[in-house]
Structure 1
Amino acid sequence: MNKVFCILCAFALAPSVQAQQLDPGNIAQSQFAQVDADSNGRLDMAEQERFDSDMMISMDLDESGAADMDEFLAWGFGFSAVAEERGREANYQTASRIIFSIMDYDDSGEVTLEEMNGFQAAAFAYSDQDDDGELTPEEFHSHHFMNIAAQEALMPIQ
């Protein structure tokens, strides 16, 4: 009887656990933890640049040294599953296309690591609300351009 009860409880809780995992805030927290290489709870620009370099390597599927629009959209930044679950794929793709266009500073149709670093430096400076050269989880979640765009794209229109 206890086993059956436990199994039923597990099935009852599964959707809420899945919904929590697909929450944009949880994704932003997970991204923050990935960038925070020294796990001190704050991001500095060196950590961001290291992460950007790794991200570019994983995004650049054709190994051209830059990511084109298709590669950028395929990467998804972790929010694609939320967009799909919420029926907001078109909104999320539009937000991603806008971010790509802003990053593609020379309008070449590709984002280089240099362009990504420039975008991230501007996003970092904007997000650093207390101007201490580091981002807290709150600053990263609430003020970083990419998180703002993704969260807004995933929100229902009211």
Structure 2
Amino acid sequence: MTSVSTALALMLAGIAAPAFAQEAPTFGREVAEQTFASIDEEGRGYIHMGDMERFRAGMFAGMDYDNDLKVTFEEFSAWDTGFGEVAEEEGRPDAFITATKIVFSFWDRNADFVLTDGEMRSSINADFQRADIDEDGLLSQEEFLQSFGIIVAMRAAIRPDIDYRAN
């Protein structure tokens, strides 16, 4: 699992730089679309909780570098799908770090400065439910791009001047 997550992170990081040379309104969309496509392995155009859980399990394993079944903030912040490079290009690395800290803090439900598998599962589930605007148990690509917590946090922190709901 770790190699799959690492490969995904490297793939997304590799596409981040050229993707953001486009006009501002599409900022961050390409990374978010690639993340969605990674979760929607069958290319259906939507993801369900099973897809998200499979992705989450791989993500957790990829973040847990020392295999102690806990993810520290250092491990969490080292795992990036491409938004870190975008933040650098936009001159907003501090905003990216702040957004990462906020997401980690929300997901660290007992505030002990480590994420367990259960905490991440609960948090991803809550983020999924919040993003499911039409409450059909599925996330369309647009629901994911515009409403999934970590995507919103990263895009808004790096480019707070863009209204992503319109794109």
Whether the TM-score (by the shorter chain) exceeds 0.5 is yes
Q: Give % identity.
A: 34
Q: Which residue does 1:94 correspond to in 2?
A: 98
- 1:78 Cα deviation after fit: 2.0
In 2, the alpha carbon distance for the partners of 1:74 and 1:16 equals: 21
Give matches, 1:23-102, under 5 Å.
Answer: 23-102=27-106
In 1, the alpha carbon distance for the partners of 2:161 and 2:27 equals: 17
Q: Which residue does 2:122 correspond to in 1?
A: 118
Q: CA RMSD in A?
A: 1.9
Using a 3 Å threshold, how does the CA distance of structure 1 residues 100 and 18 change in structure 2: closer, same or farther? closer
| 8 A contact 1:52–1:113 mirrored in 2 | no
Is 1:132 aligned to 2:145, yes or no? no
Amino acid at match of 1:81: E
Q: Which residue does 1:5 correspond to in 2?
A: none
- 1:77 Cα deviation after fit: 3.1
Counting matched residue pairs gives 143
Cα deviation, 1:44-86, whole Å, max 9, x if unaligned, reads: 0010011000001111111111110001111123211100111
SS of the counterpart of 1:40? coil
| 8 A contact 1:124–1:144 mirrored in 2 | yes
In 2, the alpha carbon distance for the partners of 1:102 and 1:137 equals: 23
Amino acid at match of 1:78: G
SS of the counterpart of 1:135? strand
TM-score by length of 1: 0.84
| 8 A contact 2:131–2:139 mirrored in 1 | yes
Cα deviation, 1:11-50, whole Å, max 9, x if unaligned, reads: xxxx976624x94100000000001122211000010011
| 8 A contact 1:103–1:115 mirrored in 2 | yes
| 8 A contact 2:28–2:155 mirrored in 1 | yes
Unaligned runs of 5+ in 1: 1-14
Is 1:19 aligned to 2:21, yes or no? yes
SS of the counterpart of 2:68? coil
Aligned residue among 94, 107, 113 for 2:111 = 107
SS of the counterpart of 1:19? coil
In 2, the alpha carbon distance for the partners of 1:17 and 1:82 equals: 9
Using a 3 Å threshold, how does the CA distance of structure 1 residues 77 and 51 change in structure 2: closer, same or farther? same
TM-score by length of 2: 0.80
Q: Runs of 4+ in structure 1 displaced over 6 angstroms?
A: none
